[in-house]
Amino acid sequence: MFEGSFGWKLRRDIKNAWVLEVNLLLLMLENLEGV
């Protein structure tokens, strides 16, 4: 029922959020190693 433009937008938002989370984790790891 929800498939369509809304479904694709939701999937894209989830994927973008996941990428941001990974980037934040990598930044945190780099900061920890720098200490």
> Does residue 4 lie within any of the structural domains?
no
1-23 per-position pLDDT tens digit: 556 777 778 889 999 999 999 99
> Does residue 1 lie within any of the structural domains?
no
> Does residue 5 lie within any of the structural domains?
no
Higher-confidence position of 34 and 15: 15
* Neighbouring residues of 10: CB distance < 8 A, sequence distance ≥ 6: 2
Domain that holds residue 15: 11-35
* Neighbouring residues of 23: CB distance < 8 A, sequence distance ≥ 6: none
The whole model's pTM is what? 0.57
Total number of domains constituting the chain: 1
